Structure 1
Amino acid sequence: MGYLLDNGQVQAGSRFEALGELFDASTFRHLDALGVGPGASCWEVGAGGRSVPDGLVERVGPGGRVIATDVDTSWLGASGAVLEVRRHDVGTEPPPAEGLDLVHARLVLTHVPARDRALATMVAALRPGGWLVVEDADPALQPLLCPEDRGPAEQLANRLRRGFRTLMAGRDADLALGRTLPRRLREHGLVDVAADAFFPIAGPACTALEIATVEQIRGRLVDGGVATDDDVDRHLDNLRAGRLPDLATSPMVTAWGRRAR
C-alpha cells in the first residue's frame, strides 16, 4: 500500500524541517558521543531531507564519506564531493557500501515491513567495530497528541491522532517498534548495545509537524471515515490560532550497538 507520508507530497518538506528542528540535536548528541568525526565513512538510511546528511558531512570533513539513501531522493538534492545521494530500498536491496564506520537510520524501520532484513543489511554495511544507530518512534508508549486532555480542542486533536495511528497500522507500520530496538540490535549480533528516549512536548516545531502531517493525510482521514472536512479544518484552525500550545510527539527511542571485531 505504500508509505502513508511519502516524499512526493509538497508537505514533506515542512515535515522534514520540523523533524530536524525537533530531533537533530538529540541525534547528533548520540553520534558525537560515538566519535563520528573527520575521515569517517557513514550511511544515512532513509534520509528524507538534508539535515542529518549535512550534519554528517560537517563532521567527517573532506576526508570522509557520507552516503544518503532513500526510496525517493526528491528532497536530498545532488551529490557532492563528500556526499553521495543514491536511491535505495533498505528492505529489499543489498547495502550500497561495506566497511563503514557508521550506519544511522531515523524513523525508517517503523515503515519497512521487512524490518529484520533491513537491519541485517545495515549491519552488513559496517566494518568490525563500526556503529549502528537506529532511532524510531514508539507511538504506543504515549498515544496522545495532547497529553492534557482538557477540552474540545484537545479531544478533537487526540481523536485525529488515533485515526492517524489506525491508518499507519493499516499500512504495516509497527507502532511499538521503538521499545524493541535494543533487543533487535542484540539479535543481529551487535555488542555494547544501549538505548535511551527523547520526548519533546510543546514548541513551534511540534505544531509545525502536526500541521504538515494533517495536511498531508487529510484526504485519507476523511476517506477513511476518521474525520470530516469540518473536523480537519477546525483542528488546523486550532493549531494555527495557538489554542493547542502543548502538543507532544511520540517518544523517540535511540538504540546503538557496535559490530563485533
Structure 2
Amino acid sequence: MVRSGGYLLDNRQPQAGVRFDALTELFDPCTFRHLTRLGVADGWRCWEVGAGSRSVPAWLAARTGPRGRVLVTDIDLSWLDGPGADDLEIRRHDVGTEPPPAADLDLVHTRLLLTHVPQRDRALASMIAALRPGGRLLVEEADPGLQPLLCPEDRTPEEQLANRLRRGFRSLLAGREADLAYGRTLPRRLREHGLTEVGADAWFPISAPACTVLERATVVQIREQLVQHGIATDAEIDRHLAALDAGRLPDLATAPMVSAWGTRV
C-alpha cells in the first residue's frame, strides 16, 4: 500500500472529462435500468450524490419532469455547472461531513463515490436519512478487490505490464483511504440501516472500447504517482500507452460495479 493524501483522481484535471465520458458509456445503461425498475417517475424528488458529471442527473430531470426536483451535489462542481444545467439544482456539498441538504426525498442515488469517501459510513447514513418513508436508495460502487486483473488472460508481456500497473493503481487508491472491497458489502450495510426490499447485482464490462479509453485516461492522470512511488518507469508507462493506442490490448476489464438498492421503512 502506498500512503498519500487527497483524492487520487482529481476532477479538475483535463483527463477527468475523458474518464467521465467513458464511465457514462460503460455504466449509464446499468444505472438507468435500475432507476427505471425502482419506479422513478414524474414528480419524484431526487438527490444525486457526488454526481461528477451530468449524465445521470439529466436523465433523472427528464424522467421526473417539471413537477419533480433533482438536487445534484458534489465537493467539486467542475463538470456540473454550465449550459444544460437549467433543470438541475446544483450545490457544493460534502456528504461525508455535512448534514443532508434535503429531506423527504423519493430517491437518493450515488455512483462510484463511497469507495473514495473516508467518512463513508456517515455518508451512507446521511443519504438514508434524507429519504421519506417508502423512499428508495440506489448505491452503486466499484469493487476493485474483485478485479485482480486488468487483462484477464495475463499471457503476453504487454498484458503482464498492464496488470502490474493496475495493481499499482489499487495500491495508490488504498493508500488514500479508499475501501477496495466496499461494493460487496453494500447489501449487508443497507440491511443494517433498516432498509427493506434490499437487493443487489453487479456489472462487469470486458472488452468494451470505453474500457480502453478509461484505462488510458486513468494512467495519464496518475502517471506522476506511478513513477514517484516506484510502481513503473516513464518508459514502461509509455510502452503501455503505446500498446493501448495500437489496439494490442483489446480485452480490458473494469472493476465490477455493485448496485444495491433498498426501501426506507
Q: Which amino acid in 1 is paired with 2:121? A: D
**How high is the TM-score relative to the length of structure 2?**
0.96
**How high is the TM-score relative to the length of structure 1?**
0.98
Residue aligned with 2:139, SS: strand
* Residues 1:39 and 2:43 aligned together: yes
Residue aligned with 1:226, SS: coil
Who is 2:23 aligned against?
A: 19
Who is 2:90 aligned against?
A: 85
Q: Matches of residues 115-134 of structure 1 in structure 2 within 5 Å? A: 115-134=120-139
Per the alignment, do residues 226 and 80 of structure 1 end up closer, same or farther by CA in structure 2, a change over 3 Å counting? closer
* Superposition deviation, residue 82 in structure 1: 3.1
- Mapped to 1, the partners of 2:48 and 2:177 lie a distance apart of 23
Q: In angstroms, what is the RMSD of aligned CA positions?
A: 1.0
Q: Which amino acid in 2 is paired with 1:169? A: A
Q: Matches of residues 1-12 of structure 1 in structure 2 within 5 Å? A: 1-12=5-16
- Mapped to 2, the partners of 1:245 and 1:154 lie a distance apart of 10
* Residues 1:97 and 2:108 aligned together: no
Residue aligned with 1:176, SS: coil
Gaps of 5+ in 1: none
Residue 194 of structure 1, aligned match among 183, 193, 199: 199
* Residues 1:180 and 2:185 aligned together: yes
* Superposition deviation, residue 8 in structure 1: 1.1
Residue aligned with 1:140, SS: helix
Who is 2:118 aligned against?
A: 113
* Superposition deviation, residue 81 in structure 1: 4.8
Q: Which amino acid in 2 is paired with 1:221? A: L
Residue aligned with 2:9, SS: coil
Q: Matches of residues 210-249 of structure 1 in structure 2 within 5 Å? A: 210-249=215-254
| Residues 3 and 171, structure 1, Cα contact 8 Å, conserved in 2 | yes
Q: Which amino acid in 2 is paired with 1:170? A: G
Q: Which amino acid in 2 is paired with 1:119? A: L
Partner deviation per Cα, 1:42-76 (whole Å, 9 max, x = no partner): 11100001111111111111111101111100100
- Mapped to 1, the partners of 2:210 and 2:174 lie a distance apart of 25
* Superposition deviation, residue 117 in structure 1: 0.3
Q: Which amino acid in 1 is paired with 2:72? A: A
Residue aligned with 1:194, SS: strand
Q: Which amino acid in 1 is paired with 2:237? A: V
Who is 1:70 aligned against?
A: 74
Who is 2:143 aligned against?
A: 138
Gaps of 5+ in 2: none
* Superposition deviation, residue 157 in structure 1: 0.2
Partner deviation per Cα, 1:195-234 (whole Å, 9 max, x = no partner): 0000000121000000110010000000010000001111
| Residues 64 and 82, structure 1, Cα contact 8 Å, conserved in 2 | no
- Mapped to 2, the partners of 1:230 and 1:107 lie a distance apart of 31
Residue aligned with 2:144, SS: coil
* Superposition deviation, residue 80 in structure 1: 4.8
Partner deviation per Cα, 1:80-134 (whole Å, 9 max, x = no partner): 5531111111000011100110000100110011111001100011011001100
- Mapped to 2, the partners of 1:27 and 1:223 lie a distance apart of 36
Who is 1:153 aligned against?
A: 158
